[in-house]
Structure 1
């Protein structure tokens, strides 16, 4: 029985203290791919993601690989940075890993992780590039998009927002792109524990039953997550609703920003109404405690997993309509609660209206049902099967012939480059010259070299006789006098000697015959 094909997935990070949205999405996808592939996760270090993946039956390989933020930000020095990365020992180790292991397909996660895609594609390994962020639009976006197009076989976006830059510059690539929004395993969220978790968490935070807890949650708290807009909105809502309380969940990686927000709360005299919790990886213990969730992201979100999680946990959600967030809110009937990016007044108005509605529970129930229809496991698996069909249709391999900037042609075989002795050797071995793929010299140098292919051609020196020396004038005349011509051909001196001997013999025999007759 044929074993399952092998898939190598690459994560750009593996946090040790928390898990990011991108890591959650990759972990979920790997769990869904296990029935179809022998999955291996390649991480830069061990951490929360690798531990969870290993528990799910995914093999782990630790391989540091540099990431490229300029690819995501569409900055002018992108190619210069990638060239620098290629000269690094980590890139050589990556090439050797892929060449030796030779997986059937490589899955690259996020738009800041190009090196695994580059190495895999140059080694002839099919690449699925999963875009989880919306690439920034700048004068250099075309270069970022062109690189993704070149080093991928399929481009998978978690939202239309992530695919939009690709469609803008490569509209003809529709057959290589597909939309695969994330989903969730409801059992992993332990819904039967939500009510108990709500009571326990609120008791620990001193949140009473009559309080309305308005939440902000992010794995890392920094400017683009909209922490300051949330604080400004909260201060105004606190003056309008005496029973409103506020909970911030996340790691303040930008400490000055975090401290400035807390100072604003302190100056407003509202510090006792705010709570802060370090990031909690068991989200089923946090979301149930909220009565309402605010997601004021200032950047174009690739998807907006926090908003989807709020909907799954039956919470009303208010958000900035940034990137994928706008798609989620529209797909679940919450377009009215998605306000323009940066519109703090809009946030205040929507939160105020929801609190006045007095029916947050019913709104939350509707949200959970709408989220399941749009993004539930059934919808996800239907789309995933389409991707699997595309992968199956492209599993036929052809011999991988490569050449760098030099003239030597190589066959990549078992992680080793075997040079052909000549182009004729390529043809004699049964390959075609149009199968040759030009790759970067860094990839060529990273791989060990094997025995040459083809016959050793010996060069045979052909001896050309020297032209005869010119004859002197007297010798030329003597030669012409001693030469007899018969049938238009010159006779050699040796032939002339034999003919002279025959004439002398004939004359002697005639003289002997005349003497006998006289006698």
Structure 2
């Protein structure tokens, strides 16, 4: 059975109470990859993302690292800040993490998550870097593009708007357009009607009433919550049967209070409902009749808009880069409004509210159009092409790694920038859990050899070496042991061999012998004693004669070789002295003439 390749996915955040669009997208990728890879998800802390991933059997590793916001902002300070990050302990910890897990390739999510990409590149691991946001325009945007290009083997953009800054020739062969998608089965369509009824009853919304919603992971100014409330205030006098729902996590208290104040100043504040963040979106979207996305920044994509369409809802949005691109690709250009145009937003929705049948028709059309442009089939086709390229690169690297290394068994190795010390054993590198484990098995830091991080990546990672039980598993496979008695044993795997030779014992360094309790000694299978066998006199004489004959033969060959070397040296010196191209020919003739005279004398 073939061993699955291992991929590590690095998330820049892991919020305890909510999930952003970038986190949802990464979780979707992780679940997709589990079908053919061993997946490890790296998060900065435990949170909703890690909990959701663990429920599907994805392995979690926790490793925090600083984010490079200056790269996203195209700031001139990005290089200086990144140099500080690469000199930090976080960078060394990331390298150590990579050596411990030894992934075949990594996925880094969002432009600000640059340090894991740099660490993976340092270790010689292929990097697929997902860019979810649009880099700030400006003079230094090209520097940000070059930095991403330096550490990424593949640059995955979730929209054309995201990939727009990467149109320089140096990254053309790395760009891939792969947009987020969804799995219909995970949305549980069979429960939509019940979920709609439950949520609307909870907020006293009748069947005859229309519910317009804004859904966001976090209630913040760039999501345009205030724009939505202004719009609601304009629509209230004309549409008394319409209510408005704002769903999101109120983390920015000052802005949330401002929004509450705005809502209270409308004609009927009770018609504006604030709902907490809902992780299971299938319990929220079915209750809505219209989805509004009034984003005030240039979005890389529009996850909320796509989710609304997937649930068969009309979507009205500001024309904000990737968000506008999404609506245009699904035939919803007429529902795009210039950014910040609250009057236009209100009028577009007012036109929709005039005809409920038309709203239902548009929702049905949106569900079909979103599946055709962003459905699972489109995603899999693009993603599988990328995976084929990655698998080919990984296969080539693994073939190179199988070439015999210059390091022998029993060597202690450590990367120049990472923390962990490894023992080479049976073709693998076994990490010591700490310095106490090294001391327990009589290894010293002075014997550790520093190597490049990419050199360590060539060795598969073996079982951790520690002082914990079981001793047979957590200790080196080859070592000298001694119990309460005087007998020294050589351990080889699961067998121990008594060392009975006095000559061997005299040469043995007592500091290398590991003392263990007798109950550990008896766990091993007892092998044959190790001794120096005495050779018979006859056999020794035969070997001596054979050795003497070999020495004579070598001496004769050495003389012949020395003579030939001298002749070549004389010839080369003469050629240099006379600088004549015919000299070689004359020497050959002279040699053949001497040889013919010698032959005539013999005759």
CA shift at 1:374, angstroms?
0.8
- Partner residue, 2:477: none
CA shift at 1:191, angstroms?
0.5
CA shift at 1:139, angstroms?
2.2
- Partner residue, 1:363: 362
Instruction: Report whether the alignment pairs 1:266 with 2:260.
Output: no
CA shift at 1:171, angstroms?
3.3
Aligned residue among 237, 254, 275 for 1:277: 275
Report if the CA contact (8 A) 1:417-1:449 is conserved: no
How do 1:161-180 residues align onto structure 2 when only pairs under 5 Å count?
161-167=161-167, 170-180=168-178
CA shift at 1:253, angstroms?
2.3
- Partner residue, 2:489: none
> Aligned partners of 2:414 and 2:220: how far apart in 1?
46
SS in 1 for 2:72: helix
CA shift at 1:418, angstroms?
8.5
Q: TM-score, normalised by structure 1?
A: 0.76
Report if the CA contact (8 A) 2:10-2:109 is conserved: yes
Instruction: Report whether the alignment pairs 1:144 with 2:140.
Output: no
- Partner residue, 1:387: 386
The change in CA–CA distance for 1:354 and 1:415 in structure 2 (over 3 A counts) is farther
CA shift at 1:258, angstroms?
2.0
Q: Deviations over 1:13-58 (max 9, x none)?
A: 1111011111100000111111221110011111111111122221
- Partner residue, 1:349: 347
CA shift at 1:87, angstroms?
2.6
Report if the CA contact (8 A) 1:418-1:450 is conserved: no
> Aligned partners of 1:100 and 1:204: how far apart in 2?
49
Report if the CA contact (8 A) 2:117-2:127 is conserved: yes
> Aligned partners of 1:418 and 1:148: how far apart in 2?
24
The change in CA–CA distance for 1:415 and 1:77 in structure 2 (over 3 A counts) is farther
- Partner residue, 2:432: none
> Aligned partners of 2:389 and 2:46: how far apart in 1?
32
Q: TM-score, normalised by structure 2?
A: 0.66
How do 1:314-353 residues align onto structure 2 when only pairs under 5 Å count?
314-353=312-351
Q: Deviations over 1:430-476 (max 9, x none)?
A: xxxxxxxxxxxxxxxxxx951789xxxxxxxxxxxxxxxxxxxxxxx
- Partner residue, 2:34: 34
CA shift at 1:122, angstroms?
1.4
Structure 1: runs of 5 or more not aligned: 401-409, 420-447, 454-519
Q: Deviations over 1:275-305 (max 9, x none)?
A: 1111011111110111101000111111110
Instruction: Report whether the alignment pairs 1:21 with 2:21.
Output: yes
Aligned residue among 214, 217, 226 for 2:215: 217
Report if the CA contact (8 A) 1:99-1:414 is conserved: no
Instruction: Report whether the alignment pairs 1:238 with 2:236.
Output: yes
Q: Which moved more, 1:171-180 or 1:327-336?
A: 171-180
- Partner residue, 1:57: 57
CA shift at 1:175, angstroms?
2.1
- Partner residue, 1:377: 376
Q: Which moved more, 1:260-269 or 1:376-385?
A: 260-269
> Aligned partners of 2:257 and 2:136: how far apart in 1?
28
Aligned residue among 191, 204, 208 for 2:206: 208
SS in 1 for 2:133: coil
CA shift at 1:310, angstroms?
0.4
Q: Which moved more, 1:357-366 or 1:12-21?
A: 357-366
Structure 2: runs of 5 or more not aligned: 402-406, 418-446, 453-603
Q: Which moved more, 1:95-104 or 1:243-252?
A: 95-104
Q: Which moved more, 1:196-205 or 1:172-181?
A: 172-181
Q: Deviations over 1:378-427 (max 9, x none)?
A: 11100111111110221212879xxxxxxxxx99x9973489xxxxxxxx
Report if the CA contact (8 A) 2:233-2:266 is conserved: yes
Aligned residue among 233, 246, 249 for 1:248: 246
SS in 2 for 1:199: helix
Aligned alpha-carbon RMSD (Å): 2.3
Greater RCO structure (CA 8 Å; 6+ sep): 1
> Aligned partners of 1:347 and 1:363: how far apart in 2?
17
Q: Which moved more, 1:266-275 or 1:315-324?
A: 266-275
- Partner residue, 2:434: none
> Aligned partners of 2:223 and 2:201: how far apart in 1?
28
The change in CA–CA distance for 1:303 and 1:252 in structure 2 (over 3 A counts) is same
SS in 2 for 1:187: helix
> Aligned partners of 1:227 and 1:357: how far apart in 2?
26
Report if the CA contact (8 A) 1:100-1:415 is conserved: no
- Partner residue, 1:469: none
